[in-house]
């Protein structure tokens, strides 16, 4: 019962992050851009922290063969790469909507899948133990905050009204609830699903941080701003590391 309460509660909190974009309307776009890059840096540290302090250590506890873990991590990276490519290709070659910019449906479709996977990840994490679940939820919130702000801004810039952009963001976030329910149902019945998802999730987090987020930082060449980004990465990594030493509910 605790698994369900913690999982659904965490998913609801993560989903509520989708409305954070509405608060960016009052911000100057230049100010928002400066804030976002540090939030992205913090999220990178959180994703790597959850991978190396929570997901992989738990995987080594339940999977006896380290080579199996290596293959499953690679499977997670490969799966995220293939699915991201497929989504981009299918939307790009699908029907065009002349009222909005082409990237809007791409972002929307990507968010649907992304949030569904977030729900699966959160549900599976809480079936391991509460400590892993809370650390993973924190990592997801850390990367979802800049992600949702960026998506909201992109939707508005792409031709949607702020109200419609907010609806798009929130509707995709709700899919994480479905992912969590499916994960809990399967994970409590099939032990293999739960254990395999740990390194697969680690691979997905590595891909997300390394492929989608870190490139966002490479355009900054100012030494002090770059140092600020690095400090935020370390802070995100350190926060998950600290949390890993104080697991709740184990």
Q: What is the pTM of this model?
A: 0.66
Is there a domain that residue 250 lies in? no
Q: Is 249 part of a structural domain of the chain?
A: no
Q: Phi and psi of 231, rounded to 5°?
A: -65, -40
Low-confidence residues of the chain: pLDDT under 50? 248-250
Overall domain count for the chain: 1
Residues with Cβ within 8 Å of 213's Cβ and at least 6 positions away in sequence, in order, are: 40, 43, 44, 47, 143
| Sole residue written with tokens 């994480």 | 176
The answer to the question of residue 56 being in a domain is: yes
Q: What is the pLDDT of residue 248?
A: 43
| pLDDT at 146 (0 to 100) | 66
82-139 per-position pLDDT tens digit = 877 876 676 566 555 555 565 566 667 667 766 787 788 788 788 777 777 888 888 7
User: What digits encode the pLDDT tens for the residues 202-216?
Assistant: 888 888 788 877 887
Q: Which domain holds residue 165?
A: 2-244
User: Residue holding tokens 């254990």?
Assistant: 195
């Amino acid at each position: 019962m605790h698994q369900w309460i913690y999982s659904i509660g965490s998913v609801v909190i993560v989903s509520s992050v989708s409305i954070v974009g509405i608060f960016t309307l009052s911000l100057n776009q230049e100010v928002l851009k400066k804030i976002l890059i540090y939030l992205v840096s913090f999220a990178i540290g959180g994703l790597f922290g959850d991978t190396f302090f929570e997901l992989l250590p738990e995987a080594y506890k339940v999977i006896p063969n380290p080579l199996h873990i290596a293959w499953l991590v690679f499977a997670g990276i490969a799966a995220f790469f293939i699915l991201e490519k497929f989504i981009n290709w299918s939307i790009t070659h699908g029907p065009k909507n002349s009222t909005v910019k082409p990237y809007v449906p791409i972002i929307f479709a990507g968010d649907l899948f992304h949030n569904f996977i977030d729900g699966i990840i959160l549900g599976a994490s809480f079936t391991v133990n509460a400590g892993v679940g809370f650390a993973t939820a924190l990592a997801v919130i850390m990367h979802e905050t800049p992600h949702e702000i960026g998506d909201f801004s992109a939707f508005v810039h792409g031709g949607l009204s702020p109200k419609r952009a907010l609806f798009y963001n929130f509707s995709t976030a709700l899919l994480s609830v479905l992912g969590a329910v499916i994960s809990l149902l399967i994970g409590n019945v099939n032990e293999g699903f739960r254990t395999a998802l740990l390194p697969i999730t680690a691979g997905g987090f590595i891909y997300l941080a390394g492929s989608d987020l870190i490139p966002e930082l490479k355009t900054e060449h100012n030494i002090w701003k770059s140092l600020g980004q690095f400090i935020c990465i370390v802070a995100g990594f350190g926060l998950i590391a600290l949390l890993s030493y104080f697991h709740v509910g184990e």
